[in-house]
Structure 1
């Protein structure tokens, strides 16, 4: 698989309204609600790029909440493959909040998620590399190796951490008192 793809081929755009059940006690969109929307969009971008039935989230590298999203806003999520490894795909997501009354738009959040495409035996498959076209795509692609290196380092740290942290339930350790 050496054929290149353009980020635009994996682009997914979804727009939704903010409902009252999506709001927290500050009358802004719950972060978890937005995280679910991001994961759904990013999954479709990964599947569109890899053209497989199943892609799994390998990591959510970052979600930066930049501006609160209110009930009067619509939420537009745009996602696309911004960088690829051998079997992994980094998906960039941007969230645009638009005040439906005034028409004012703001970047409400950005996120990077990493996915792996799977074959019918649940084994990772190679994915096509990308050739960025727009200024935004080129910037994300050129900084992609740096983010991939940070992911590898963070993953190594997580593996070390799993060797230290215990599997006991807190109330079974004897050093923690449950009220």
Structure 2
């Protein structure tokens, strides 16, 4: 097995139609449903890269940029953009399409950090990722900045846990 893979080898596409049970009272896709789709497609991409089981370590913010309506298709594209020793950053782009008019909108983008684990649940090394296209190269080159932001966010979360902890407020 090679010690590297190209981003294109981790590319995953998932497309679904938005049905009434998938929507809120405004006729748009539930945010939680979209977040589950994002985690699912990122996990598949990471597993294709690592060829191991994986766990989600973090999800960057998901900004809902455009509503996804009942009857639209929702297409998620994902690929690994950066690798550490055992972790992978996965980029997910969400595109909605009105199937009657053909109008398309980017509705969300997110980065997730996935960690490869062995059969004992311990982190295990992953191959390096090699970007080829301009988009892939840009995302690769800016990954360390995103990683620093994640580290700061995690530290702040840990501080909040210490401060507010599991104790009851009364």
After TM superposition, list the pairs within 5 Å mapping 1:76-115 onto structure 2.
76-115=75-114
Where does residue 38 of structure 1 map in the other structure? 38
Q: CA deviation at 1:2?
A: 7.3
Number of residue-to-residue matches in the alignment = 170
Indicate if the aligned counterparts of 1:2 and 1:129 stay in contact, CA closer than 8 A: no
Flag structure 2 segments of 5+ consecutive residues without an equivalent: none
Structure 1 residue matching 2:40: 3-state secondary structure = helix
Structure 2 residue matching 1:35: 3-state secondary structure = helix
CA distance in 1, matches of 2:6, 2:140: 11
Structure 1 residue matching 2:91: 3-state secondary structure = strand
Larger radius of gyration: 1
Where does residue 177 of structure 1 map in the other structure? none
Question: Given the two structures, how large is their TM-score scaled by the length of structure 1?
Answer: 0.91
1:45-83 Cα distance to aligned partner (Å, 9 max, x none): 11110001x200000112121110011210000111011
CA distance in 2, matches of 1:89, 1:12: 15
Q: CA deviation at 1:169?
A: 3.1
Flag structure 1 segments of 5+ consecutive residues without an equivalent: 174-179
Deviation >6 Å, runs of 4+:
none
After TM superposition, list the pairs within 5 Å mapping 1:2-151 onto structure 2.
3-52=3-52, 54-151=53-150
Question: Given the two structures, how large is their TM-score scaled by the length of structure 2?
Answer: 0.95
Q: CA deviation at 1:118?
A: 0.2
Where does residue 165 of structure 2 map in the other structure? 166
Indicate if the aligned counterparts of 1:62 and 1:113 stay in contact, CA closer than 8 A: no
